Amino acid sequence: MSLTIYSKALYSTWAYYSPDRILFDCGEGASSQLENKSFAIRRVFLSHGHADHIAGLIGLINIRNNAMGDREKELQIYFPAGNHFISELMTYFSRTNRHLRYHLEWIPMTSGDQVKVLGGRNPRHVEAFPTVHASGETTLGYNILEQRQRLRQEYRDLSQEEIVELIKAGRRDEISESYNQKLLSYGGDSVPLRPGPIHSTEVLLHEATFLADEDRKEYKHSTLDEALQAAQSAGVQRKLICFHISSRYRRDVNRAQRRLNDKGLPFEVVLVPPGELTEIGL
């Protein structure tokens, strides 16, 4: 399981989650850097309509149209409902790409909407949650949820044998309950995410445009300290990935990463170096 991410504040941000073939945002260069993997993408989830998060769509939609062979590769693009910039881009595509060889669908999302991305015993959904970024800009974050089963609270002290007996007696539904585990949460551009919607997520992608608090002039983006605090408040289980780091910190990222490694945090922190294609094992 891995995540391929490219992110440099103001220039371009995109992240490809290969297990579910999901691309989060589509900044400039997404398709040219993903190359063959561009054809594997099933769904794109856009956090908002700023150019550094959507400029790569022209390339992505075009290359999939020019591909040899398979013409059945549908592509669904989910976006925050009512986003002005994205609506304008949709108009551009409808005028310039009337004869796409594959089915392209634009699907507006509002907070709380869910999209099924995997079937089977442990189905997965992507769920939209609210974020706060620039004024007048409709924005969303996204959780990947996996439906799992667990014992109900009152049965958790039973021994393995007792549980097996109850299941044999046909009481599985009575003793177990299903719940949604957040596998990954992607916040897009935002001021610090509120802990509620991302609570107990395994992997959090939180923006950290500013490594130094004093460099932030307007309250539109997060600092590294805020990303760490948001992850701690949310009880992130395994990994915090900080992206959208300003290129002014290109030389500081390694030092900041070492400092974080020594902090003894309850989760691993990965800083995505601005302008470097980064592969992260999950």
Select 127 or 189, whichever has its Cβ closest to Zn ion.
Answer: 189
Least CB distance to Zn ion at residue 13 (A) = 5
Least CB distance to Zn ion at residue 160 (A) = 50
* HSE toward the beta carbon, residue 190, CA cutoff 13 A: 23
Select 100 or 132, whichever has its Cβ closest to Zn ion.
Answer: 132
* Cβ-proximal residues to 216 (8 Å cutoff; 6+ apart), any chain: 209, 210, 223
Which strand (E) or helix (H) includes residue 168?
A: helix 160-168
Select 119 or 136, whichever has its Cβ closest to Zn ion.
Answer: 136
Token pair, residue 47, equals 């956090």
Select 28 or 146, whichever has its Cβ closest to Zn ion.
Answer: 28
Least CB distance to Zn ion at residue 169 (A) = 56
Which residues here bind Zn ion, judged by CB under 5 A? 50, 52, 189
Least CB distance to Zn ion at residue 10 (A) = 6
Query: CA torsion angle for 81, 84, 86, 89 (degrees, to 10)?
Result: 140
Beta bridge mates, 106: 77
Token pair, residue 44, equals 């794109």
Least CB distance to Zn ion at residue 207 (A) = 8
CA distance 240 to 230: 10
CB-CB contact of 47 with 24 (8 Å): yes
Phi and psi (nearest 5°) for 154?
-70, -10
Select 9 or 77, whichever has its Cβ closest to Zn ion.
Answer: 9
